[in-house]
């Protein structure tokens, strides 16, 4: 049995709150945050678009905003309970909170920044705890430097060390690594994960980037319009979402309204036709009401593009079309192809050059059957 197992499961963060506030005073629009969930020790990813209520939720957990109703607890200790009027101030909650703006003190050294919250301890204990956390995050050699002398990744490590040296019972991270490249981000997350192997506290990590959620692993809470709309593994929530609303959050750029044509049970597939077009797609066999419209979602990155008619492929959907728009989008290109319906496809600049693509080019799209996600009715996955 490992040391972590001998210590037991660790504290759990429980949140069940409601809070309403004005989202747009000029338009007199109100917003309701209404959530109930738990966060076990380790990483839980809070995923959702800007404006979905993620930061407001973290503010309420940290004690920077007061919820209207409900309760928040860690390991059975109440941080907030509207029924009993319990509301611990932020400095007594022992909840670490790290935002994108790191707010390091520019005139202090790394060591002084990390020790700032330990002023109530004896000097020897301050030094011991700060040295321990500096070593955990590989910045002990930087202890005499000031923030202006550090790289972006090093400043992030200092901010984490300053938060964690206080030994919080839970950690809230509001997109703290967004500005870093993937290699540096991965290294910092690995060190945080290693630190938490011993501490075993709940870590609620906010992101709106699908790739980051997959890289972090753990449980995912998908949030939209103030509510948790899905939860589970990254694969279940983000790769094969059961709700169309979640699919739209997680990068299904193409959502087609279709009608049922035929079922092929022996092949595990069925055929549908896109509305107001001749385009037919073979999609996974699903339990649907055949008399009603269904929706088919396809990620732009899951579609292959060819400059000549493909042959000898296992993919069942090969659609001829015309490239009607091609534009740069970050490090890749967004291609819009009209094949009876317009579909968005993502390609690299190298692929564009190799295929000699330009607007007006005749192209073929290749879509695997199981790259298609199917919804019907309220958005629940029918498969």
Same domain, 239 and 302: no
HSE-CB of 76 using CA atoms within 13 angstroms: 1
- Do residue 67 and residue 146 come from a single domain? yes
Residues 88 and 13 in one domain: yes
Residue 305 to residue 365: CA distance in whole angstroms: 5
Q: Is residue 184 part of a domain?
A: yes
- Which tokens hold the place of 325? 């728009």
What residues are paired with 29 via a beta bridge? 24
Into how many domains does the chain fold?
Answer: 2
Domain ends where: 243, 276, 294? 243
- Specify the long-range contacts of residues 192-198, CB closer than 8 Å, at least 24 apart: 192/137, 192/160, 193/43, 194/136, 195/136, 195/137, 195/164, 196/41, 196/42, 197/4, 198/3, 198/4
* In a shared domain, residues 239 and 260: no
Same domain, 61 and 187: yes
**Are the CB atoms for 213 and 207 separated by under 8 Å?**
yes
Check residue 4 and give its pLDDT: 46
Does residue 383 lie in a domain region? no
In a domain, 35, yes or no: yes
Residue 300 lies in domain: 254-375
- Residue 380, domain member (yes or no): no
The CATH number linked to 269 is 2.40.50.100
Q: Could you state, in chain order, the average pLDDT of each consecutive group of 10 residues for the chain (383 residues)? A: 50 95 62 95 90 92 96 95 95 92 90 91 93 95 95 93 95 86 88 92 89 81 90 80 69 88 94 94 91 91 93 90 90 92 94 93 94 70 38
Are 289 and 319 in the same domain?
yes
Is 248 a domain residue? no
CATH of the domain at 181: 3.40.50.300
349 in the same domain as 301: yes
Report CA-CA distances (Å) from 212 to 176, 205, 303, 335, 366: 12, 10, 22, 24, 27
Task: Examine the fold and report which residue of 209, 243, 277 is the final residue of a domain before the chain moves on.
Answer: 243
Is position 258 within any domain?
yes
Residues 179 and 319 in one domain: no
Is residue 249 in some structural domain? Answer: no
The closest alpha carbon to 260, from 83, 382, 93, belongs to 382
Asked whether residue 123 is assigned to any structural domain, the reply reads yes
Kindly state whether residues 84 and 205 are assigned to the same domain. Answer: yes
3-state helix vs strand vs coil in the chain, percent to 5: 30, 35, 35
Does residue 15 sit in the same domain as residue 104?
A: yes
The answer on 221 and 304 residing in a single domain is no
Q: How many residues does the chain have?
A: 383
Are 303 and 195 contained in the same domain? Answer: no
* Secondary structure tally for the chain: helices H, strands E: 11, 21
Q: Tell me the CA end-to-end span of the chain in Å, nearest whole number.
A: 40
């Amino acid at each position: 049995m490992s040391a972590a197992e001998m210590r037991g499961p660790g504290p759990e963060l429980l949140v069940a709150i409601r809070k309403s506030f004005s989202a747009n005073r000029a338009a007199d629009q109100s917003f309701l945050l209404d959530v109930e969930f738990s966060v076990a020790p380790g990483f839980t990813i809070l995923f959702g678009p800007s404006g979905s209520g993620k930061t407001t939720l973290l503010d309420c957990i940290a004690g920077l905003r007061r919820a209207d109703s409900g309760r928040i607890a860690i390991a059975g200790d109440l941080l907030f309970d509207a029924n009993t009027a319990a509301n611990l101030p932020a400095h007594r909650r022992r909840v670490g909170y790290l935002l994108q703006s790191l707010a390091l003190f520019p005139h202090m050294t790394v060591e002084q920044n990390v020790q700032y919250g330990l002023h109530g301890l004896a000097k020897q204990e301050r030094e011991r705890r700060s040295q321990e956390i500096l070593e955990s995050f590989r910045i002990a050699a930087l202890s005499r430097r000031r923030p202006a002398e550090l790289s972006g990744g090093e400043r992030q490590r200092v901010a984490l060390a300053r938060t964690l040296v206080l030994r919080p019972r839970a950690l809230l991270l509001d997109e703290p690594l967004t500005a870093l490249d993937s290699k540096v981000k991965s290294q910092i997350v690995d060190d945080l994960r290693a630190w938490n192997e011993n501490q075993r506290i709940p870590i609620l990590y906010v992101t709106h980037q699908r790739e980051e959620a997959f890289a972090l692993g753990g449980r995912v809470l998908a949030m939209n319009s103030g509510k948790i709309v899905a939860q589970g593994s990254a694969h279940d929530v983000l790769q094969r979402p059961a709700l169309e609303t979640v699919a739209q959050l997680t990068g299904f750029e193409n959502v087609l309204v279709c009608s049922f044509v035929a079922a092929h049970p022996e092949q595990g597939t069925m055929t549908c036709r896109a509305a107001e077009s001749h385009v037919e797609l073979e999609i996974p066999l699903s339990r649907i009401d055949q008399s009603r419209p269904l929706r088919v979602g396809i990620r732009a990155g899951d579609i292959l593009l060819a400059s000549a008619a493909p042959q000898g492929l296992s993919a069942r959907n090969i659609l001829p079309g015309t490239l009607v728009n091609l534009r740069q989008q970050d490090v890749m290109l967004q291609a819009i192809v009209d094949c009876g319906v317009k579909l968005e496809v993502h390609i690299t600049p190298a692929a564009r050059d190799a295929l000699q693509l330009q607007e007006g080019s005749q192209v073929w799209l290749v879509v695997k059957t199981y790259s298609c996600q199917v919804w019907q009715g309220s958005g629940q996955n029918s498969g």
